[in-house]
Structure 1
Amino acid sequence: MRVEKRTNVRNSIMRLFVVIVAVSFQIFWLLNLFGQLRFISPKIGQAINNLAILVALWIYGRDKNISINVPWMALILAFPMFGMGLYFLIGRTSLFNHVKEVYAHIDLFLYRYFHQDWSILEEMESVDIDSAKDAHLIWNCGHFPVYKDTAVTYYPEALEGFNAQIEDMKKAQHFIFIEYHAIEDGYSFGQMKEVLIERAAAGVEVRIFYDDMGSIGFLNKSFIKEMESYGIQCRVFNPIRPWILVFMNNRDHRKITVIDGQIGYTGGYNLAEEYFNRTHPYGYWKDTGIRLEGSAVRSMTLTFLEMWNATNPTHQAMANYLIAKPVPSKGFVQPYADSPLDDEYLGEDVYMSIVNHAKKYVYFVTPYLIITEEMTRVLTLAAKRGVDVRIITPGTPDKQLTYMFTQSFYRDLVRGGVRIFEYIPGFPHAKMCISDDTVATCGTINLDYRSLYLHFENGVYLSHVDCIAKMKKDFDHMFDLSKDVSEDYKGDINMIVRTWRAIVRLIAPLF
């Protein structure tokens, strides 16, 4: 068994290597082909330069975030043929209009099952007008309702959430839906797999959905055949291919488990060994998760079905899956999801709205910190009006290049009053925000460009829910284990370092 798994992983890594080589060859061949045009005559060279200026101006006028537009403009003006070629290959969202149409058709069908009980929003307004405004934002921009009657449990460690998932799966009677960015067919997932196989044999409908890029170092295509042999439906999102496809850059980063439509799990952790500290490649791995039980699980079920049907449309009786029953509990719960295929940046907007409404404090924990000028300004303005704004980032990074990008954003933040803490024991992979002991989020959305603009993500907005107190306690514990590095980045820096950080920040959105 172990030898076979190592072979599977080796085969998957080889597939990734072949894809990278093939795509790189295609890109450089096309760029070289077009680049030769510059040397045919001076007039053609000048025409290309003029075209580069026009393309840069067109990009500037796009209805997109300026922090994303500027890097493309700089690249095109500095290296016209290379920049324009790369932009027309991977920078234009219009290149996957067909994919947008597929999702739009599915969402149009699913939206009829998202119902907002307006009496809940009215009650929310009477309790906390600011959090009600956040809920309106999520409904208006994402069409995700806010619910009551949903019990929420917070897990400060990924392993606690994982073990609770397994116990709930053992009791499943109707269906189990699993959607994860990364699944590793190792010891941890093996425990869950045994339960899934047993439940499938008992007649429970089991579906597994995973991202190809996220799992390519862990799984081989034979995994799907194995699962299907046990009666488990299994699909892979956006398989990577050895030719240029713009959509390959958009990954499914969601983490969702739904059990019988009544219980839902999400959080930062994937189903792989390092997330449960069975391996320690980057020191202690800090991850978190939440469990929902009750009405709000309906939205998580529909979010899963969106991705499942986008891969291969399936005719199904929706009433069989939307069977969540209310569980009397305190507060308001609003699961939501973000997509790179629309013109709404819901993940970023929710974070900025929480910061704007903060009165005493707002805390974040994120493995990566690569943010827009808008987000930087919102955070620093909150700090300047007296809000205690803190961000926890890794003390031990998993990717040196991304860590370099992260550190390049420290100076502007700390000079604006934001405090940066680096988690000394290792790598905090959790993605959470909490403010004023009253609102919080937990999910998959990092404070970086890929999560905020390129990936399919999900989260849960919580207002006046009991578990927020436990989340605050966990934040305080993380601060105790972290080093406040704010003072290290407040001072003046020499021209070389400043120039280098400017370059790093400029190119960060392109990665």
Structure 2
Amino acid sequence: MAGLFNDLSFDTPLLSNIYEGLKLLFRVNIIWIGLVIFLENNNPSRTLAWLLVLVLLPVVGFFLYVLFGRSYRKQKKAKAKILSDSDRMEKAAEIQSSLLEYIDLPNSENPANRRLMQLLLKNAKAPFSMSNEVTVLTNGLSKFNRLFGAIKRATDHIHLEYFIIKDDHIGNELRELLIEKANEGVKIRVIFDDVGSMGLSRKYINSLKRAGIEVHSFFKVPLPILSRDLNYRNHRKIVVIDGLIGFVGGLNIGDEYIGNSDKFAFWRDTHLEIKGEAVYALQTIFLNDWNYVAGQVVQGVTYYPEIKVAKTSLVQIAASGPDSEWKCILQAFYKMISNAVDKIWVTTPYLVPEESILMGLKTAALSGIDVKIIIPSQPDHFFVYWASQANIQQLLEAGVKIYRYKNGFIHSKIMIVDKLVATVGTANLDIRSMEINFEVNAFMYDVDVISRLEEDFIHDIDESIMYELETFKHRGIHRKLMEALGRLVSPLQ
């Protein structure tokens, strides 16, 4: 930076003083950022990576940290959004935790499931419920048909929370439906992520507000290029209708999610429709987020109506993010992997796992467990794609079978362990989802649901090509350089 300034000349004392002041201010900021990184980052490799970038490339490092660096101030701000409305779920989790070993639960003969459930009761305050009906929605058309049908039947309230809402055909179909329901007297609240939905037009938002729909953005970022608020995004996709039906999974709102995209011919994804008591957890997560973005404490029995469901499906809903005391979903993934005795099947768009997850997958494969991972064959985000590629060889060497999906882009976030447990949600197998973003996942212990997800996984394998270790080892120097760049950048997330 000094060299950059030294190339400039200033003919007046005023400009010269401004220049010297800016140079000093920049140096102070670099030192301050370095001190913050050193004090607040408990990951040595990430700390070292940031400090090296700041020392060797101070200008680049400064702007990278402004964009992607973690912030203690932001963590405090995030934690402030947890309000008393979650007390009922926390109390339920505490009671269940003390009684878990005495409760008769389906598919829990293996103590591994009870240990996982206990973990989620403790770290995520995630109570389990058995009166549920879970429907796996494969791909966008299935999800939007069920979602729009449920919205049309709403009578009391509709709560929507999405990382991305687009002003396109699907987005406008949703908008028209919501306006129609608002005119019928249904109370509607909408949360969208301010960065994920950056392209959402003011006209779209105002049309919702004119209809009486309450709309708020999450962690508003007025100047994204200069704001540290670009980090800590709300990656959740939650819909709750009348407190009775919930939707959660990988699909946002937009035409690309039904395959109408210039970039991807087909979009493979997985979502869930849940009817039953597990909807209470989705409702609580939404209302906590709403309390934060809107400054309104919304609560009451109308949001937690009595639910009668004939089917029995054991479910826990866990949320994680900077407002969590623990890395809840990361710990749950780790526990699932360590519990496995037969197979671990994973689908993820991004394969940049935290070190413990990476070690767990390699250890499982080396010990003879069937570990299969499906990832995309083409990128939707440049750096994270190459960061994913950088992990492939070491996983293949451990015996992990990795497949690249060829029929478009695969965005599902699924982990299946034995016939014991499966999870579907918003969390990718990457550092950002595990440590930075606000995420939500459903953990399911129902053999029928697990079998349904296995069917999709086997079909996706048929649409994929397996990486061969010897072939991968002989990839070109260009790919190795890009992987090295991805590996270098990944700890900075």
Aligned position for 1:25: none
Is the Cα–Cα contact under 8 Å of residues 67 and 373 in structure 1 kept in the other structure?
no
Is the Cα–Cα contact under 8 Å of residues 31 and 85 in structure 1 kept in the other structure?
no
Match runs of 1:213-292 below 5 Å? 213-217=195-199, 219-242=200-223, 244-292=226-274
C-alpha displacement at 1:348, in angstroms? Answer: 1.7
Distance 1:89 1:391, change over 3 A: closer
Match runs of 1:49-448 below 5 Å? 64-79=42-57, 83=61, 91-96=69-74, 98-104=76-82, 106=83, 108-114=84-90, 115-116=92-93, 118=96, 119=99, 122-124=103-105, 126-217=108-199, 219-242=200-223, 244-448=226-430
Distance 1:489 1:69, change over 3 A: farther
Distance 1:402 1:505, change over 3 A: same
Distance 1:497 1:111, change over 3 A: same
Task: Determine if the alignment matches structure 1 residue 487 to structure 2 residue 491.
Answer: no
Distance 1:84 1:268, change over 3 A: closer
C-alpha displacement at 1:254, in angstroms? Answer: 0.4
Task: Determine if the alignment matches structure 1 residue 33 to structure 2 residue 61.
Answer: no
The one-letter code matched in structure 2 to 1:146 is F
Distance 1:229 1:102, change over 3 A: same
Name the SS of the counterpart of 1:355 in structure 2: helix
C-alpha displacement at 1:388, in angstroms? Answer: 0.7
Is the Cα–Cα contact under 8 Å of residues 152 and 465 in structure 1 kept in the other structure?
no
Distance 1:248 1:358, change over 3 A: same
Name the CA distance, whole Å, in 1 between partners of 2:413 and 2:195.
20
Aligned position for 1:41: none
How does the TM-score come out when normalised to structure 1?
0.83
Name the SS of the counterpart of 1:466 in structure 2: helix
C-alpha displacement at 1:61, in angstroms? Answer: 7.2
Distance 1:491 1:279, change over 3 A: closer
The one-letter code matched in structure 2 to 1:271 is I
Name the SS of the counterpart of 2:80 in structure 1: helix
The one-letter code matched in structure 1 to 2:429 is L
Name the CA distance, whole Å, in 2 between partners of 1:157 and 1:31.
55
C-alpha displacement at 1:405, in angstroms? Answer: 1.5
The one-letter code matched in structure 2 to 1:304 is F
Name the CA distance, whole Å, in 1 between partners of 2:273 and 2:398.
36
Distance 1:208 1:92, change over 3 A: closer
Q: CA RMSD in A?
A: 3.0
Q: Structure 1: which 5+ residue stretches go unaligned?
A: 1-28, 39-47
Is the Cα–Cα contact under 8 Å of residues 339 and 457 in structure 1 kept in the other structure?
yes
Aligned position for 1:15: none
Name the CA distance, whole Å, in 1 between partners of 2:416 and 2:77.
35
Name the SS of the counterpart of 1:64 in structure 2: coil
Is the Cα–Cα contact under 8 Å of residues 221 and 229 in structure 2 kept in the other structure?
no
C-alpha displacement at 1:397, in angstroms? Answer: 1.7
Is the Cα–Cα contact under 8 Å of residues 200 and 232 in structure 1 kept in the other structure?
yes
Is the Cα–Cα contact under 8 Å of residues 89 and 127 in structure 2 kept in the other structure?
no
Name the CA distance, whole Å, in 2 between partners of 1:489 and 1:102.
50
Name the SS of the counterpart of 1:123 in structure 2: coil
Name the SS of the counterpart of 1:127 in structure 2: coil
> What are the superposed Cα offsets for residues 174-223 of structure 1, whole Å, 9 maximum, x if unpaired?
11111111111222233333332222222111111111211122x11232
Q: Structure 2: which 5+ residue stretches go unaligned?
A: 1-18
Distance 1:31 1:111, change over 3 A: farther
The one-letter code matched in structure 1 to 2:110 is D
> What are the superposed Cα offsets for residues 424-449 of structure 1, whole Å, 9 maximum, x if unpaired?
11110111111112311111111112
Name the SS of the counterpart of 1:234 in structure 2: strand
The one-letter code matched in structure 2 to 1:308 is W
The one-letter code matched in structure 2 to 1:300 is L
Name the CA distance, whole Å, in 2 between partners of 1:392 and 1:260.
36
Aligned position for 2:13: none
Is the Cα–Cα contact under 8 Å of residues 253 and 456 in structure 1 kept in the other structure?
yes
The one-letter code matched in structure 1 to 2:424 is C
Is the Cα–Cα contact under 8 Å of residues 282 and 396 in structure 1 kept in the other structure?
no
Is the Cα–Cα contact under 8 Å of residues 126 and 317 in structure 2 kept in the other structure?
yes
Q: State which drifts further: 292-301 or 407-416.
A: 407-416
Aligned length: 468
Name the CA distance, whole Å, in 2 between partners of 1:230 and 1:490.
55
Q: State which drifts further: 371-380 or 234-243.
A: 234-243
Match runs of 1:457-496 below 5 Å? 457-488=439-470, 491=473
Q: State which drifts further: 174-183 or 220-229.
A: 220-229
Name the SS of the counterpart of 1:330 in structure 2: coil
Name the CA distance, whole Å, in 1 between partners of 2:223 and 2:279.
38
Name the CA distance, whole Å, in 1 between partners of 2:303 and 2:207.
25
Distance 1:486 1:102, change over 3 A: same
How does the TM-score come out when normalised to structure 2?
0.86
